[in-house]
Amino acid sequence: MARMSCPRGTEDLLPESLPALEHVFHSFRSVMERHAYREIRTPLFEETSLFVRSLGDQSDVVEKEMFTVQRGDTNVSFRPEGTAPVVRAYLQNNLDKIRPFQKFWYGGPMFRFERPQAGRSRQFYQVGVEAIGSTSPLLDAEVVLICHRAFQAMGLKNYQVHGNSIGDAQDRELFRTVLRAYFTPLIMQRCDDCQRRIERNVFRMLDCKVAQCQPSNKQAPRFLDHMSPVSRARFETTKSLLQSLDVPFVFDPSIVRGFDYYTHLVFEFRCKDLGARDAVAGGGRYDGLITDLGGPALGAVGFAIGVLPTLLALATQGHPAVAPRETFTPLFVAPVTDGERTAAFLLAERLRQHGLSCDTDYEDKSLRALFKVADKRGIQLMIVLGPEEVQQRVVKVRVLQKSEDVTLPDDEHLPTALRALLAT
């Protein structure tokens, strides 16, 4: 039988690599708590219609990237992103009536049926926030700021925030018409993709990388010039606030979100130490989504950080917290002969009952072999239990770093004595 492997685009996170993941999650959580965001957990799958309604039935994600399960008349999909589920939970639990403004954070796996490449897999991890119930431009700035603070806490360097405003739905409808009018006479000069995009997603044309499309992009109308004064003013407020807070924010008119529910601020954090796929976080304001899902007209803004791309960037930057490493256990009980194996097992268990992290041998290894293993694992104290120790009701403790042996009575004070030795 062929050896099994995990499905394409998924990976096992082995014990050595989990400290890196924890580093990201812990940093994120502490920044969120400082800013009064509260954790929310939604199911890993939702009714498919939630994503169809929120992302749009013709978006690529809905059309071909969802993991969908049909059983009887139940049709669910593994969540491809975190925003729609949180908004759904907000509305379902009547939070819009109880306490309309809430700041949430969440973290966990998302799923998309995509072709895997570096920083992109079929099960990927995100941490993110959704601040629901306010249209304040201060909140726009806060959300970008805390993403920046989160990356600072993680120790990431070399990144910039690329931000843009796409106005409100009205602004965008207007601009769509303006852009189409501009591009239509030039369409024959554009690449094949752009010829499709003019109908499907005309905003993407501004972001086209094909050389032949560059000249007509340079002359293209700018969104900011066609936006209502109110929309433009709120973007200016957010932008200057961020600049005064030393957030590395740059205006980038090519940032365009694919989903219809986005309004006003859209942004992406990009790290230079990644390849072509250089985004480590993305987000924006989505004032349209809550009504799309049947709720009242409330504003909301959020972002999500890609955990694995962030880890990749931290790794190339040589950040020590993300290097693979052994899990730390300070104590090890080593039997000298086969006669003490059971006693060693029981002693280890007794120490654990006193709150000490402790391991012992399960492979019938020689004492010499146990010391070699202890050294590799960074054990601090080796508790040696041989025939003589058992007879005299003592243990011999080797302090590995100092190469010193200490004999301690094996009585009710042993855990305290070991704790004292660990502290030195």
- For strands 68-71 and 74-78, give the pairing: antiparallel
**Residue from 402, 416, 390, 373 nearest 335 by CA:** 390
In this complex, which beta carbon is closest to RNA, that of residue 43 or of residue 387?
Answer: 387
Q: For RNA, how many residues bind (rule: CB under 7 A)? A: 68
CB of 285 to RNA, least distance (A): 12
Q: Are 107 and 25 in contact (CB under 8 A)?
A: yes
Exposed/middle/buried for 405, CB within 10 Å: 0-12, 13-18, 19+? exposed
In this complex, which beta carbon is closest to RNA, that of residue 107 or of residue 299?
Answer: 107
209 is a contact residue toward RNA (CB under 7 A): yes
Q: How many residues does the chain have?
A: 424
Contacting residue, 51, 159, 259, 332, with RNA by CB under 7 A? 259
Both tokens of 335, joined, read: 């039997």
**How would you label 238-254 residue by residue, b for 16+ Cβ within 10 Å and e otherwise?**
bbebbeeeebebeebbe
Q: Are 134 and 265 in contact (CB under 8 A)?
A: no
Contacting residue, 133, 137, 253, 306, with RNA by CB under 7 A? 306
CB of 264 to RNA, least distance (A): 14
Contacting residue, 68, 189, 366, 416, with RNA by CB under 7 A? 366
CB of 226 to RNA, least distance (A): 21
189: helix, strand or coil: helix
CB of 59 to RNA, least distance (A): 6
Both tokens of 60, joined, read: 């690529």
Site string for RNA, 261-300 (x = CB under 7 A): -x-----xx-----xxx-xxxxx-----------------
**Residue from 251, 231, 227, 229 nearest 176 by CA:** 227
Residues 6+ apart with CB under 8 A from 136: 299
- Scanning 31-39, 197-205, 243-251, 292-300 for contacts with RNA by CB under 7 A, the matching segment is 197-205
CB of 98 to RNA, least distance (A): 26
133 is a contact residue toward RNA (CB under 7 A): no
In this complex, which beta carbon is closest to RNA, that of residue 81 or of residue 410?
Answer: 81
Q: Are 112 and 80 in contact (CB under 8 A)?
A: yes
In this complex, which beta carbon is closest to RNA, that of residue 71 or of residue 402?
Answer: 402
Residue whose structure tokens are 């796996």: 109
CB of 354 to RNA, least distance (A): 22
158 is a contact residue toward RNA (CB under 7 A): no
Q: Are 25 and 17 in contact (CB under 8 A)?
A: no
CB of 72 to RNA, least distance (A): 27
351: helix, strand or coil: helix
Q: State the number of CA atoms in the 13 A half-sphere of 95 facing the CB.
A: 19
* Rounded distance between C-alpha atoms, residue 378 and residue 321, angstroms: 17
82 is a contact residue toward RNA (CB under 7 A): yes
**Residue from 264, 274, 315, 225 nearest 141 by CA:** 264
- Scanning 14-22, 56-64, 288-296, 409-417 for contacts with RNA by CB under 7 A, the matching segment is 56-64
**Residue from 303, 288, 27, 329 nearest 162 by CA:** 303
* Rounded distance between C-alpha atoms, residue 215 and residue 219, angstroms: 7
258 is a contact residue toward RNA (CB under 7 A): yes
Contacting residue, 26, 135, 180, 193, with RNA by CB under 7 A? 193
* Rounded distance between C-alpha atoms, residue 221 and residue 171, angstroms: 13
* Rounded distance between C-alpha atoms, residue 44 and residue 82, angstroms: 9
Site string for RNA, 107-126 (x = CB under 7 A): ---x---xxxxxx------x
325 is a contact residue toward RNA (CB under 7 A): no
Site string for RNA, 374-393 (x = CB under 7 A): xxx-----x-x-xxxx----
405 is a contact residue toward RNA (CB under 7 A): yes
Contacting residue, 27, 54, 59, 102, with RNA by CB under 7 A? 59
250 is a contact residue toward RNA (CB under 7 A): no
- Scanning 77-85, 91-99, 162-170, 221-229 for contacts with RNA by CB under 7 A, the matching segment is 77-85
Residue whose structure tokens are 């669910």: 76
What's CA 320's distance to the chain center, in Å? 18
- Scanning 53-61, 92-100, 288-296, 346-354 for contacts with RNA by CB under 7 A, the matching segment is 53-61
Binding residues vs RNA (CB under 7 A): 8-9, 59-61, 81-83, 110, 114-119, 126, 128, 193, 197, 201, 204, 208-209, 257-259, 262, 268-269, 275-277, 279-283, 304-306, 309, 336-337, 363, 365-369, 371-376, 382, 384, 386-389, 396, 398, 400-403, 405
